[in-house]
Amino acid sequence: MRPGEVERVTVAESVDRYVEMVRAKSVTGTLAPSSAELYARDALTFAALAGPGRVLDDLSGGDVDEVLLRFARKPDGRRARPEPAVAGVASQSAASQARFRRSVSAFFRYAVVAGWVQLDPMAAVTVRPRRRGGLRAERRALTAEQAEGLLGAARDLAAGPPGGAVAGRRADQRTELRDGLIVLLLAAVGPRVSELTRADVEHFFVNGGTRYWRIFGKGGRTRDVPLPGPVADVLDAYLRDGRRLLDRGREPKALLLSWRGRRLARGDVQGVIDRVLARVEPERRRGVTPHGLRHTTATHLLAAATDMDAVRRVLGHADLSTLGRYRDELPGELEAAMRVHPLLPPPRA
């Protein structure tokens, strides 16, 4: 489309069309539903901050700068009682600001293709979010001792006494078996938390005597990941004894069920991890998030000299370069590498 043919649509109208497009992509499988909703939410926030009635093509880089600054000062709605904005102080984290900026950039790239703007104003934007100074501790990989303590607690929990009513628990399901399975899957396979909660019973199958998990990941990509033997054993026990039937004896579709028999929500997973962590010896206990367990999987697989492409496939990344973000340093790793330096073989006896 030539510059003279630019369609002068308002910010609100262009965002509505864009949101419809990204949600359609989630229906066709080219964009994960969670990603589509994130893009849609940020686009709607952009429209509210930029002024819904303004013509999109009239926005300059300075106008977008102002929107980014307004977003940075916007109270974080995830808090129960958002703190009032303070002049010169950002209410949004650096990560949230960077994510919002990426969403706005994606919106304007589409606007150029759709013919709503002559030039992408993001090229003239000067506001940049502060870079994060590394991951928070709970999002970093566990050490071998910490991971072994957590996995041991998960296996012990899953191996608890079967059946029977437990005080404060349902008699028709074993939530302790479910909790152990969740931690084992997160730490041994490293799925995204959305991939874990979206898992259905039919996504697990056996091929050649090995139990596999068909994971439906980002961008409509799927991967078949073999489960380690101890994890497969807990999975089989959970499928056999741990899940309650729905009314009239129907088998539920979701793998992980809440106490009420519904699909487990993403927000419930952290509580499960914390309950299992409480059973770990204090000297090996360290707080960790689901994403931190994903880091743990990648870090220890790579530290064990596992093929990088195999690790990429386990985690569901399209590019090997992405692994760098999931690779944390381990205590003693450099010392071990230097002890077996390839250019300096050990002296002969």
DSSP three-state, residue 295 = helix
291 is catalytic: yes
CATH number at residue 117: 1.10.150.130
* Nearest one of 221, 189, 206, 164 to 296, comparing CA atoms: 189
Catalytic residue among 73, 155, 203, 218: 218
- The answer to whether residues 315 and 182 belong to one domain is yes
pLDDT tens string 47-77: 999 999 999 999 999 999 999 999 988 876 5
In a domain, 173, yes or no: yes
* Nearest one of 245, 244, 263 to 254, comparing CA atoms: 263
Using an 8 Å Cβ cutoff, are 102 and 64 in contact?
no
Residue 266 to residue 258: CA distance in whole angstroms: 11
The reported pLDDT for the residue numbered 3 is: 47
pLDDT tens string 106-133: 999 999 999 999 999 998 888 776 555 5
Catalytic residue among 18, 39, 238, 326: 326
Residue 329 to residue 345: CA distance in whole angstroms: 25
- The answer to whether residues 103 and 162 belong to one domain is no
CATH number at residue 319: 1.10.443.10
Catalytic residue among 174, 243, 286, 317: 317
Residue 291 to residue 298: CA distance in whole angstroms: 11
- The answer to whether residues 255 and 112 belong to one domain is no
203 is catalytic: no
Look up residue 11 and give its two tokens: 């910010």
- The answer to whether residues 202 and 286 belong to one domain is yes
Catalytic residue among 74, 286, 294, 312: 294
- The answer to whether residues 320 and 219 belong to one domain is yes
96: confidence class by pLDDT, cuts 50, 70, 90: confident
The reported pLDDT for the residue numbered 90 is: 57
* Nearest one of 175, 184, 214 to 198, comparing CA atoms: 214
The reported pLDDT for the residue numbered 9 is: 94
25 is catalytic: no
218 is catalytic: yes
Alpha helices in 29-174 (DSSP H): 33-50, 61-73, 94-114, 144-158
CA atoms within 13 A on the CB side of 226: 8
The domain total for the chain is 2
The arrangement of strands across the sheet holding 222-226 comes to: 204-207, 210-216, 222-226
DSSP notation for 172-222: T--HHHHHHHHHHHHHHH---HHHHHT-BGGGEEEETTEEEEEEE-GGG-E
- The answer to whether residues 110 and 160 belong to one domain is no
Q: Among 124, 158, 187, which residue terminates a domain?
A: 124
In a domain, 193, yes or no: yes
Of 85-94, 162-171, 240-249, minimum mean pLDDT range:
162-171
Catalytic residue among 74, 192, 223, 295: 192
In a domain, 254, yes or no: yes
Residue range 89-100: average pLDDT? 77
- The answer to whether residues 96 and 225 belong to one domain is no
- The answer to whether residues 112 and 154 belong to one domain is no
212 is catalytic: no
Using an 8 Å Cβ cutoff, are 155 and 183 in contact?
no
In a domain, 240, yes or no: yes
294 is catalytic: yes
In a domain, 324, yes or no: yes
Using an 8 Å Cβ cutoff, are 51 and 63 in contact?
no
Catalytic residue among 101, 286, 291, 300: 291
Length of the chain: 349
In a domain, 338, yes or no: no
- The answer to whether residues 118 and 175 belong to one domain is no
Domain that holds residue 291: 137-331
In a domain, 282, yes or no: yes
- The answer to whether residues 241 and 275 belong to one domain is yes
- The answer to whether residues 237 and 306 belong to one domain is yes
In a domain, 287, yes or no: yes
- The answer to whether residues 200 and 238 belong to one domain is yes
